[in-house]
Amino acid sequence: MVKKFLILLLVAGMGLIIFDLYQAFDSKESLGTLGEYYAQNGATDVGAANIVTAIVVTYRGLDTLGEVSILFLTAAILSFALSFRKEDEIENRELRPTSELLAIASQVLTPIIMIVGIYIFMNGHLTPGGGFQGGAVIASAILLMLMASPKLEVSHKVIAFVESVSGLAFIIIGVLGILLAGGFLDNGIMSLGTFGTLLSAGAIPLIYIFIGLKVGAELSNIVGTMSHDQNEK
């Protein structure tokens, strides 16, 4: 009884907080000074048709570096936590056979999902998307493969190699932006090209390729580690 009362009290408290935030909310019908600058000068400064990409990858490049670092630490900590267990606690168990529908769907859809993921991060400067979204889509293809074939071994060496190389390349491009252009991850180190084409927006497509590969590798590493741990329990 006391437990239910405490839960009800907690829910009521959260409701009051949300209601107070709703009452104090004041919508703005115009952009602020910084937002106005992004909207008016983003396309000219960085040559990207997708203004969100222009902001995330160039103007706020250090924020993107922080987000990638957080994802890397999450993958590393999760892998460490799942692998830190006694050998005598590991017991192989019989897995249920995969349904024919899932197996066939995996064979058909996995290549398509991979291609869509690559398309998303290679066209992030032109259409909604980018490295994080494309990397997540690629990781979902790995997840589908593991669901269809639970005993499939994901090569952590390959994933670690892709993650390390893409992360190093991302940092090198960022430093080159400081040395050759106006700041960290400044896409001006390459020609802006023709606005609206694939080879445009300077170094942004290259940056998003490495972000997509890194994010995809990190999420795939998490999925692979969890799958391996689940199969052994």
What's the pLDDT at 173? 92
Q: Which residue has the higher pLDDT, 54 or 227?
A: 54
Q: What count of other Cβ atoms lies within 10 Å of the Cβ of residue 110?
A: 17
What's the pLDDT at 120? 93
pTM of the model: 0.76
Round the CA-based radius of gyration of the chain to a whole number and report it: 22
The residues near 201 (Cβ < 8 Å, ≥ 6 apart) are 46, 47, 48, 49, 53, 54, 125, 187, 192, 193
Q: What is the pLDDT of residues 177-190, one digit of tens each?
A: 989 888 888 888 99
Instruction: Report the candidate in 195, 221, 167, 168 with the shortest Cα–Cα distance to residue 49.
Output: 195
Q: Which residue has the higher pLDDT, 59 or 75?
A: 59
Q: How confident is the model at residue 88 (pLDDT cuts 50, 70, 90)?
A: very low
Is the pLDDT at 98 greater than 80? The verdict is no
Q: How confident is the model at residue 114 (pLDDT cuts 50, 70, 90)?
A: very high
Q: How confident is the model at residue 146 (pLDDT cuts 50, 70, 90)?
A: confident
What's the pLDDT at 145? 87
Take residue 76 and report the two structure tokens written for it.
């590393």
Is the pLDDT at 45 greater than 60? The verdict is yes
User: Buried b vs exposed e over 71-89: b needs ≥16 C-beta within 10 Å?
Assistant: bbeebeebbeeeeeeeeee
Give CB contacts under 8 A, 24+ apart, made by 177-185: 177/61, 177/203, 183/61, 184/61, 184/62, 184/65, 185/57, 185/58, 185/61, 185/62, 185/64, 185/65
The residues near 128 (Cβ < 8 Å, ≥ 6 apart) are 50, 52
Is the pLDDT at 104 greater than 80? The verdict is yes
Q: How confident is the model at residue 113 (pLDDT cuts 50, 70, 90)?
A: very high
Q: How confident is the model at residue 99 (pLDDT cuts 50, 70, 90)?
A: confident
Q: What is the pLDDT of residues 153-165, one digit of tens each?
A: 777 788 889 888 9
Contact 144, 99 (CB under 8 A): no
Q: What count of other Cβ atoms lies within 10 Å of the Cβ of residue 207?
A: 29
Q: What is the pLDDT of residues 189-226, one digit of tens each?
A: 998 888 889 889 999 999 999 999 998 888 888 887 77
Q: What is the mean pLDDT of the chain?
A: 83
